[in-house]
Structures are given as structure tokens and as C-alpha cells.
Amino acid sequence: MIEVFGLPGYTRVKICGIRDEVTAMAAVSAGADALGFVFAPSKRMVTPERAKEIISVLPPFVAKVGVFVDSTAGDIRDVAGYVGLDVIQLHGKEPPEMCAEFSQKVIRAFRVGSTINIDEINLYSADAYLFDTLVAGQQGGTGKTFDWRLINIGSIARPVILAGGLNQDNVSQAIAAVRPYGVDVSSGVETDGVKDLNKISAFIRRVKSEG
């Protein structure tokens, strides 16, 4: 299996929407395998300059993931090189061929509604596929789940990262249903729209307890 981030043998955890050093280091201390920095317009957006400052204090064993929505390959490469990203996450309508444009590993995100087209998804030569909940007008961090039964990892060509409405109360059920490579959380570890260090720690503990 392709290793996108983390070590083999357990469910990896990505904490997305990082905007400050305190939250970043708390997530690392709690056992996060990857941290996500959003470079697309949203309430969790961070500038490349700010992301670079945060990344400069992080240990090398934690993957730094940049989340982009419909940016050009050139712009993404510029930000990735400046900031020091390990992984590119494409979270918009990027075509399959864009996955081959980067030296970093690539996660291609797909938003899931009531159905899923596995054949179309498998056309993307990314290192992993992330499945998030389809909510009109939002690109992620919706706090909404989708029907996990739609994800059959046996028919999907790449490691699966599960997102969409995950929190410490439902992540065990999600892992049991999907058996993903990793899980991704943002709003599920927030209180009043701000990252909650206790929720981050509790979420990671719950995931690690599942193996």
C-alpha cells in the first residue's frame, strides 16, 4: 500500500484547518499523523506566510498537507515550495491529469452525496482518495456525514481517507464501517468554530484505540 503519511499498521489521523502554532503542536503531541492547511477561501483559510511560520516549528515526522480548491498547478507548486508542504490535497474540480503535476504526494478529494461513481474516481492517479460530504456551497468542514456504506475499499484503487462530520462520538463506528487508511477531521474538533485542544486529543485517542 502507498504510504501517504504516518506509519503502517493503524488508522492515520489528519487534523485539518490548522491556523496557529499552539493548536498545531497540541495536535502533534496528541499523536496526529498529518496537519492540514487550507489555502482556499473559507473561515479556516491561512495565508502561505502564516502557514510557513507554523510549519517551521513542526517536527519532520508530521505530514504537512496543503488544501487547494481549483487553483492552477503553477500556483499550487509555488505555495507548496514556499511553505514546505509534503502533500497536496485537491479539493475542487481539478481534472485527473493534474494529479501528476506535483513532486509531492497527492490526495484527491471527492464530495459524496447519495451515490458514488467508483469508475470515475479510479481515473485519478492520486496517492490517496479522500471522501467528504457533499453540501451545496461548501468545500469541506461541513460537520455533516454521508452514508459510509457507499465506500467499498475493495473496489477503490487507492488508500481511502474518510472525512465528513467525524467526531469523537462517531469515529469508531466510521472506522468499523469503512476500514479507511486514515480519517480527516476539522469541525468535529472545534467549539464555536475554534479548534478545541481537548476535542483534538479525545478524537485522536479514540482513533488510535481502534488500531
Active site residues: 16, 132
> 81: how many CB neighbours lie within 10 A of its CB?
12
Alpha-carbon span 153 to 157, nearest angstrom: 8
Cell numbers 519532520 correspond to what residue?
A: 60
Alpha-carbon span 73 to 17, nearest angstrom: 21
Closest CA to 90 of 42, 136, 39: 39
Alpha-carbon span 37 to 32, nearest angstrom: 14
Please report which helix (H) or strand (E) contains residue 111, including its range.
Answer: strand 105-112
CB 141 within 8 A of CB 108: no
Closest CA to 4 of 182, 186, 211, 155: 182
CB 191 within 8 A of CB 33: no
